[in-house]
Amino acid sequence: MTTLQIRYFAWMRTRVGTGAEAVEAPDTVRDVAGLMDWLEARGPGHAKAFARREAVRIAVNQDYVDPDHPVAEGDEVAFFPPVTGG
Amino acid sequence: MAVRVQREDFDPGREMEALSEGRRDIGAVASFTGIVRDEKGAGGIRAMTLEHYPGMTERKLEEIEAEAHRRWPLEASLIVHRYGRLEPGERIVFVAAASSHRKAALEACAFLIDWLKTKAPFWKLEEGVEGEQWADAREADDEAAARWAEDG
């Protein structure tokens, strides 16, 4: 098992229904893409949030990464739409 | 070099003055102030609420600022970005770059805001007549950031 801190922002947060959750991901989850597959199956809100993968941006430990980035014990993994500040 | 993420308003004039105060080597300060606008026409957007990723936001803004200093000979710089609920007419963002000469200051100022718009983790929730809606990212912003891509 891998303990991960998951963060959601903007419409990812409103769809999932929470801005943060701690999860114990199974050992089969090795990278962010695998994590998204696993999270998507957690419920209808998660399924809706991860339905359009191309619209989801990812940060691991507060740095932008691609879906093939590995996940490790204690990582903070954030999912959010393209940014719209400024 | 400084970045600030805050709920409160700021005074662009005072921020600019502070950048060059007591300095004799700064010949140019360029700044950009972003203001919330009702882009959908009269009353289309009543307000917007800025959400951000505390921690990562400051980190990304510092990286953007450091990149500007790497590319141009800057003497000072500042990025201020507000979060929370803002109405049309309110200031939302301020960037400034100070240098010996105008070219570096002007270019770095444009670079700071272009990169900020596509890299800093902020999101706008717009309040319109038909309820709330998350703002979509704009292709024009990606294109503006892409013009600063370095060759190789």
- Asked if the structure places residue A26 within a domain, the reply is yes
What would the DSSP string read from start to end of A11-54? HHHHHHT-SEEEEEE-TT--BHHHHHHHHHTT-HHHHHHTS-GG
**Between B42 and A73, the higher pLDDT residue:** A73
Residues in chain A with CB shorter than 8 Å from the CB of B138 are 84
Q: Name the least confident of B26-35, B95-104, B134-143.
A: B134-143
Contacts from A47-55 at CB under 8 Å and sequence distance 24+?
Answer: A48/A15, A49/A8, A49/A11, A49/A12, A49/A15, A49/A16, A49/A79, A50/A79, A55/A81, A55/A82
How does pLDDT run across B45-89, given as a tens digit for each residue? 899 999 999 999 999 999 999 999 999 999 999 999 999 999 999
pLDDT of residue A26: 97
Out of A11, A78, A83, the one facing B119 most closely (by C-beta) is A83
- Asked if the structure places residue A86 within a domain, the reply is no
Residue B24 Cα, gap to closest chain A Cα (Å): 31
**Residue B117 contacts A, CB cutoff 8 Å:** yes
Class (C level, CATH) for B3-136:
alpha beta
**Residue A5 contacts B, CB cutoff 8 Å:** no
- Cβ separation A62–B137 shorter than 8 A: no
Domain count, chain A: 1
Give the pLDDT mean for B136-146: 90
pLDDT of residue B44: 83
Give the whole-angstrom CA distance, residue B90 versus residue B9.
8
Residues in chain B with CB shorter than 8 Å from the CB of A13 are 51
Strand partners, B106: none
**Residue A7 contacts B, CB cutoff 8 Å:** yes
Nearest chain B residue (CA) to A58: B121
- Asked if the structure places residue A85 within a domain, the reply is no
Domain that holds residue A8: 2-80
Beta carbons of A83 and B123 less than 8 angstroms apart:
yes
DSSP code of B143? Answer: H
Nearest chain A residue (CA) to B135: A84
CATH number at residue A20: 3.10.20.30
Give the CA diameter of chain A: 40
Residues in chain B with CB shorter than 8 Å from the CB of A62 are 53, 55-56, 59
pLDDT of residue A83: 97
Q: Which residue has the tokens 């900020």?
A: B116
pLDDT of residue A55: 94
| Residue B150: band (very low, low, confident or very high) from pLDDT cuts 50, 70, 90 | confident
Taking Cα atoms as reference points, which of B67, B44, B78 lies closest to residue B118? B67
B84-86/B45-52 β-pairing: antiparallel
Give the whole-angstrom CA distance, residue B39 versus residue B89.
11
Here the tokens at position A83 are 């940014």
**Residue A78 contacts B, CB cutoff 8 Å:** yes
- Asked if the structure places residue A28 within a domain, the reply is yes
